Amino acid sequence: MKSLINKNIILGVTGGIAAYKSAEIVRHLKKSGSSVRVVMTSSAEEFITPLTLQALSGNRVSTDLLDAESEAAMGHIELAKWADAILIAPATANTLARLSSGRGDDLLSTVSLAFDGPISIAPAMNQAMWKDNRTQENLENLQKKGFKICGPGSGEQACGDVGLGRMLEPLEILELFSSSFDQGNLSERSILITAGPTQEPIDPVRFITNRSSGKMGYSLAEAAIEAGAKVTLISGPVNLEPPPNCNFVSIETAKEMHEAVMHHVKSKDVYIGTAAVADYRPVTFHESKIKKDTDKSSLTLQLQENQDILKSVSELNERPYLVGFAAETDNLLSNAKKKLKNKRLDLIVANDVSNKEIGFDSNENEVTLITNAEEKVLEKQNKKKISKKIIDFISSELT
Ligand SMILES: Cc1cc2nc3c(=O)[nH]c(=O)nc-3n(C[C@H](O)[C@H](O)[C@H](O)COP(=O)(O)O)c2cc1C
C-alpha cells in the first residue's frame, strides 16, 4: 500500500451490511498516517453508530446536510475543500445511482459534487442488485467520469446468495484506493526550499522581522516530499514543526539564510524561495540594550541592504530551476513579471498579500503562476492543495 501520510481523507459510509467493516477501514487509514473525517448517509446509521466511527477517527462524524450546527462546524463545502481524496465504502446500489445522476440531496452526495479530486468507491450489494442493468449502467457512467471502482468481490453473501457483489476486504480496498494518489513524479529530484521570516537584530532584545508564518514553504516541502523529492528546508523562526523526512536547517538572520542557501544549493535541481527575507538590516548591532532617552522623542535606525539570495542563486554557473514568490500589495502581476525578468527566474508565484483572507498568516491562498511562456491562476484553496499544484507544475516543467 502506498503511503497515506498527511492525507486528508473523507470516508463515506452508506447503508449496507458491510458498513460494519468501515470501522476497520478507519483504523487502517489512521494507522497509515492520514486524517479521517467520516460522512454517513442516514441509512448507514442503521447499520453502524456514528459514535464508533467518531471514536476511531478522532473527528466528529458528519451526517446532516441541512443542519445549522454541522454547517457551522464543518459544512459540505469546507469538507470538500479539506479533503485530498474521498473513499466511499461500502457504496450501496442506491448511492451509485445517486452519484451517477449527480444528485445533491444529502451530505455525502453534495460533498462528492463539490469535491475536485479523486473519488474511489467500494460497491457492496446483493449479487442480483449488482447484476442489474441499471446498476451496471450507473457504474459505467461513474467510471467514465473518473471514479475509481474498487471491487466488488465474489463469494457467499450475508443474504445467503453466492456471486459478485460483496465488498472487498478493508486492506484490499486501501491498496487500490492509495494508488489513486500520483506519487513519485519527483523521485529523482532534490529541492531546496526557504521559508519563514528572518530576524535582523537591533540589540540583544529587539529585532526587525515580518509577518511571514512559513506555512507556504512548509506545505511546499511536504508536497515535494510526498512527490518523492529529497528536500532541504531552510527556515527562519516560525511556529511550525518541520515535516518528517526532510533535511532541516534553522537560521535567524538574512545573512545566515544567504550562507545556508549558498552552501546547500549545490547540485539541487530546484530552488524555491518562499522565505520573506529582510531587504535591510540595522547597520549597527548594539551589544547592550538601547535605553530610552527621555530627552529625545525620536530615534533613528540606520539600515543597510542585505544580499539578494535569489539573485545570488540565479547568478550561479550551474543554477537550479528557480522559483520565486512575489508577495505584493499593489500591481501584483506587473510587479511579479518584473521580478521574474530581473532575477532571471524560471517561475514566479504571485501572491496578493493585501487580501487578509489569503497570503501571509492565512491557511488559504490564491496565486498566479507566471513563467516566460504562460500564466496560470490557482484559485483560492487551502495552502496544502495550492502547494501540491505548484509542485505538480514544477514537476511538469522539469520533464
Ligand atoms: C438489512 C439490509 C441490508 C442492506 N444491505 C444493502 C447492501 O449491502 N447493499 C445495498 O446496495 N443496499 C442494501 N440495503 C438497501 C439500502 O439500505 C437502501 O437502498 C438505502 O436506501 C441505501 O441508502 P444510502 O445509499 O443512502 O445509504 C440493505 C437494506 C437492508 C434492510
163: left (phi over 0), alpha (psi -120 to 50) or beta: left
pLDDT at 315 over 70: yes
Side by side, the strands of the sheet bearing 148-149 are 35-40, 8-13, 85-91, 119-123, 148-149
Is 15 close to ligand 1, i.e. is its CB under 6 Å away?
Answer: yes
User: Which of these, 86, 147, 75, lies nearest to 115 by C-alpha position?
Assistant: 86
Q: Which atom of ligand 1 is nearest to the CA of 94?
A: 25
Judge whether 226 lies within some domain: yes
Give Cβ neighbours of residue 77 (< 8 Å, ≥ 6 apart).
Answer: 114
Q: Is residue 114 part of a domain?
A: yes
264 shares its domain with 149: no
For residue 171, being part of any structural domain is answered with: yes
Contact 274, 198 (CB under 8 A): no
Same domain, yes or no, for 229 and 367?
yes
Q: How many domains does the chain have?
A: 2
Q: Which domain holds residue 41?
A: 8-178
Q: Report pLDDT digits (tens) over 232-268.
A: 999 999 999 998 789 999 999 999 999 999 999 998 9
Residues 76 and 140 in one domain: yes
What is the C-alpha radius of gyration for the chain, rounded to an integer number of angstroms?
26
33 C-alpha to ligand 1 centroid (Å) = 31
Q: Whose CA is closest to atom 17 on ligand 1?
A: 15
Window from 29-33, 121-125, 238-242, 354-358 with minimum mean pLDDT:
354-358
Contact between residue 237 and residue 200 where contact means Cβ atoms under 8 Å apart = no
Ligand 1 centroid distance, CA of 15 (Å)? 5
Question: Does residue 159 share a domain with residue 221?
Answer: no
pLDDT for residue 184: 62
Same domain, 109 and 134: yes
Closest CA to 213 of 387, 50, 54, 360: 360
Q: Determine the distance from the C-alpha atom of residue 29 to the mean position of all C-alpha atoms in its chain, rounded to a whole number.
A: 17
* 224 and 126 belong to one structural domain: no
The ligand 1 atom at the shortest distance from the C-alpha of residue 167 is 8
Within 13 A of 231's CA, how many CA atoms are on the CB side? 28
Taking CA atoms only, the protein residue closest to ligand 1 atom 5 is 16
Question: Do 310 and 230 share a structural domain?
Answer: yes
- How far apart (Å, rounded) are the C-alpha atoms in residues 99 and 111? 11
User: Taking residues 147-157, what's their average pLDDT?
Assistant: 91
- In the chain, what is the straight-line distance between the N-terminal and C-terminal CA atoms, in Å? 27
Q: Cell triple for residue 265? A: 544549493
Residue whose Cα lies nearest atom 31 of ligand 1: it is 16
Confirm or reject: Cβ of 135 under 6 Å from ligand 1.
no
Bridging pattern class, strands 8-13 and 85-91: parallel
- Helix, strand, coil % (nearest 5) of the chain? 35, 25, 40
**Is residue 366 assigned to a domain?**
yes
Q: Is 295 part of any domain?
A: no
Catalytic: 159?
yes
**Nearest CA-CA partner of 226 in 367, 113, 390:** 390
Ligand 1 atom 29, closest CA: 16
Atom 7 in ligand 1: residue holding the nearest Cα: 16
Read off the CATH number of the domain in which 306 is found. 3.40.50.10300
pLDDT band at residue 397 using 50, 70 and 90 as cut-offs? very high
Q: Rounded CA gap, 34 and 26, in Å?
A: 10
94 CB within 6 A, ligand 1 = yes
Of the listed 1, 77, 158, 159, which one is catalytic?
159
User: Which ligand 1 atom minimizes the distance to the CA of 108?
Assistant: 26
The residue type found at 337 is K
Residue 313's SS3 state is helix
Check whether residue 146 and residue 60 sit in a common domain. Answer: yes
Query: Closest residue (by CA) to atom 13 of ligand 1?
Result: 16
CATH number at residue 150: 3.40.50.1950
In a domain, residue 243? The reply is: yes
- pLDDT (tens digit per residue) in 262-302: 999 998 999 999 999 999 999 999 999 999 887 888 999 99
**Ligand 1 atom closest to 125 (CA):** 9
| Residue 47 pLDDT class (50, 70, 90 cuts) | very high
Least confident of 64-78, 338-352, 369-383: 64-78
- At residue 38, what is the residue type? V
Taking Cα atoms as reference points, which of 53, 17, 19, 50 lies closest to residue 36?
53
Residue 341 is placed in which grid cell?
525578468
Per-residue pLDDT for 67 more than 80? Answer: no
What is the number of the ligand 1 atom nearest to the C-alpha of 14?
27
d(CA 149, CA 167): 11
Final residue before a domain boundary, out of 114, 143, 178? 178
User: Does residue 195 sit in the same domain as residue 135?
Assistant: no
Domain co-membership, 96 together with 206: no
What CA–CA distance (Å, rounded) separates 304 from 308? 12
Q: Are residues 200 and 267 in the same domain?
A: yes
Boundary-marking domain end, from 121, 143, 178: 178
- For residue 296, tell me if it sits in a domain: no
| Ligand 1 lined by 16 (C-beta under 6 Å) | yes
Q: Is 17 in the pocket of ligand 1 (CB under 6 A)?
A: yes
pLDDT for the residue 293: 84
Pocket test for ligand 1, best of 63, 88, 92 (most atoms within 8 A of CB): 92
For the Cβ of 124 lying below 6 angstroms from any atom of ligand 1, the answer is yes
Strands 206-208 and 153-156: unpaired
Whether 296 and 268 have beta carbons less than 8 Å apart is answered as no
The mean of the pLDDT values for the chain is: 92
| Percent of the chain whose pLDDT exceeds 90 | 75
Last-in-domain residue among 178, 202, 221: 178
Q: Which residues pair with 124 in a beta bridge?
A: none
Give the residue, by CA position, lying nearest to ligand 1 atom 19: 94
Both 329 and 276 in a single domain?
yes
Average pLDDT over residues 330-343: 92
User: Is 364:193 a contact under the CB 8 Å cutoff?
Assistant: no
Residue partners of 22: CB distance under 8 A and separation at least 6: 11, 13, 38, 48, 53, 89, 90
184 domain-assigned: no
Give the model confidence (pLDDT) of 85-135 as tens digits. 999 999 999 999 999 999 999 999 999 999 989 999 999 999 999 999 999
